[in-house]
């Protein structure tokens, strides 16, 4: 449900979100911002342009007083909106050397100026202000994607470049795992009340849950290392069929970015390659790996409904969100939101009564409700203000480049 924010609040929010994107890109050269390291990732300059295209396409284009910046951008920076028209193929975004980053900066300034004029004049209807609010949250999603994609790009460099410098941190043992019980019953889940939510977070509806228990923290690197040492990647009985096929075809033997150096497991971070710290939440694992680990541990993944009920009834606790000086999970602690997205056992499907919005903007979420799994929480690269207990993130089961981990549950 979209609820239009007061105009000044929306003006301030828009400025803050747009500024953060530029801050994230500020230390990256033109060469850093242009390549695409895999088909699922996008160049930094594409993220900067696409989030701008969103405002231009859905807020400004229909206005008689708006002058389009460059008609080719409608093709180059459309992501997946079929109703808008043809678009540049996603796997070839890294081949778009022109426009360059200076052109993208001018594009952003052009659209920002036009948005500011319209907002300052009070010339937007409530539905249009809703679209500006949606555009802000859309850009926050891309801020997280930008950092995920930069991390993957930099990980392909033989010399482990640093995006953000931060001090080395000592290795410590994780806190013991404990459990919190949730009574069975009928619960309401999904977004309700004031404030922004994406359409896939509603309608609010009731679910019947049996009693369950949920771990008080995400699974840690130390626990995942035990899984690996016990042959976790060599035991087909732990894996779903598609997951085992992926282990074999892709040669998985550890989370994404892990490798052994001088006899020690290391992981690539946005601060370069670092030793794996035992007490940090395991991150950059697929749904398949999360599910296999849960089986090995003798437990299971929570459903997304269980996760939301537990997060609501056991108090909202927040871990680390995006800090420009860190961009990396902290120690695994008793937080439902923050540090690492958590795979659930739930397929990404519509809630009862879900309806897509009319027009091209209706393609935002609904058409992806197939062959994806839901993650809940937030991560160390989720911008503050973008996290919610009802947020339904989703990725294909094999995806690993997101800041994805897990939290155990048991019946």
- For the stretch 139-188, pLDDT in tens is 999 999 999 999 999 999 999 999 999 999 999 999 999 999 999 999 99
- For the stretch 75-102, pLDDT in tens is 999 999 999 999 999 999 999 999 999 9
Give the residue ranges of DSSP H helices in 233-297. 241-250, 287-296
Model confidence at 3: pLDDT above 90 = no
Partnered with residue 410 across adjacent β-strands are 213
Q: Is residue 170 part of a domain?
A: no
Contacts of 80 by beta carbon, 8 Å cutoff, 6+ apart? 87, 90, 363
Model confidence at 363: pLDDT above 90 = no
Residues 150 and 185 in one domain: no
Q: What is the DSSP string of 32-91?
A: HHS--SSTT---HHHHHHHHHHHHIIIIITT-TT---S-TTHHHHS--S-TTT-----GG
Return d(Cα 86, Cα 8) in angstroms, integer.
36
Q: Is residue 173 part of a domain?
A: no
Residues 132 and 203 in one domain: no
Percent of the chain with pLDDT over 70: 98
Residue in 368, 404, 367, 372 with CA at minimum distance from that of residue 144: 404
Residues 264 and 127 in one domain: no
Residues 184 and 150 in one domain: no
Q: Is residue 2 part of a domain?
A: no
Residues 140 and 201 in one domain: no
**Given this model, what pLDDT does residue 360 score?**
76
Last residue within a domain, chosen from 155, 190, 210: 155
Residues 283 and 384 in one domain: yes
Percent of the chain with pLDDT over 90: 92
DSSP secondary structure code for residue 368 in this structure: G
pTM given for the model: 0.96
Give the structural domain span for 72: 7-155
Residues 229 and 123 in one domain: no
Q: What is the CA radius of gyration of the chain?
A: 21
Cα within 13 Å of Cα(359), Cβ side: 5
Q: How confident is the model at residue 1 (pLDDT cuts 50, 70, 90)?
A: very low
Q: Is residue 381 part of a domain?
A: yes
| Total count of domains within the chain | 2
- For the stretch 38-78, pLDDT in tens is 999 999 999 999 999 999 999 999 899 999 999 999 999 99
Residue in 163, 44, 54, 140 with CA at minimum distance from that of residue 94: 44
Model confidence at 349: pLDDT above 50 = yes
Q: What is the mean pLDDT of the chain?
A: 95
Q: Which residue has the tokens 């996603």?
A: 90
**Given this model, what pLDDT does residue 5 score?**
57
Residues 327 and 190 in one domain: yes
């Amino acid at each position: 449900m979209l609820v239009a924010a007061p105009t000044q609040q929306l003006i301030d929010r828009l400025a803050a979100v747009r500024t953060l994107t530029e801050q994230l890109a500020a230390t990256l050269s033109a060469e850093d911002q242009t390549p695409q390291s895999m088909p699922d990732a996008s160049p930094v300059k594409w993220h900067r342009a696409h989030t701008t295209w969103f405002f231009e396409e859905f807020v400004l284009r229909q206005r008689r007083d708006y002058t389009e910046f460059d008609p080719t951008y409608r093709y180059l920076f459309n992501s997946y909106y079929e109703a808008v028209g043809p678009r540049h193929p996603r796997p070839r975004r890294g081949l778009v050397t022109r426009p360059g980053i200076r052109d993208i900066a001018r594009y952003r300034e052009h659209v920002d100026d036009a948005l500011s004029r319209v907002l300052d004049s009070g010339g937007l209807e409530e539905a249009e202000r809703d679209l500006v609010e949606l555009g802000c949250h859309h850009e926050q999603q891309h801020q997280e994607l930008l950092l995920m994609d930069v991390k993957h790009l930099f990980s392909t460099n033989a010399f482990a470049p640093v995006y953000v410098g931060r001090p080395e941190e000592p290795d410590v043992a994780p806190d013991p795992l404990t459990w919190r019980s949730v009574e069975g019953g009928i619960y309401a889940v999904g977004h309700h009340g004031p404030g922004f939510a994406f359409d896939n977070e509603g309608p609010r509806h009731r679910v019947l849950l049996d009693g369950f228990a949920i771990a008080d923290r995400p699974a840690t690197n130390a626990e995942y290392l035990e899984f690996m040492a016990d042959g976790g990647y060599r035991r087909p009985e732990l894996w779903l069929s598609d997951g085992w096929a992926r282990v074999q075809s892709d040669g998985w033997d550890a989370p994404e970015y892990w490798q052994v150096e001088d006899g020690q497991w290391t992981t690539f971070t946005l601060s370069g390659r670092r030793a794996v710290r035992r007490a940090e939440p395991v991150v950059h694992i697929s749904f398949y790996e999360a599910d296999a680990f849960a089986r090995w541990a003798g437990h299971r993944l929570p459903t997304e409904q269980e996760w939301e009920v537990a997060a609501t009834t056991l108090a909202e606790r927040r871990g680390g969100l995006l800090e420009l000086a860190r961009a990396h999970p902290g120690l695994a602690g008793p937080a439902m939101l923050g540090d690492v997205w958590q795979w659930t056992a739930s397929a990404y499907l519509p809630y009862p009564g879900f309806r897509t919005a009319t027009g091209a903007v209706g393609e935002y979420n609904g058409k992806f409700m197939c062959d994806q799994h839901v993650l809940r929480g937030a991560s160390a690269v989720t911008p503050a203000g973008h996290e919610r207990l009802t947020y339904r993130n989703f990725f294909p089961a094999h995806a690993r480049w997101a800041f994805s981990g897990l939290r155990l549950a048991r019946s």
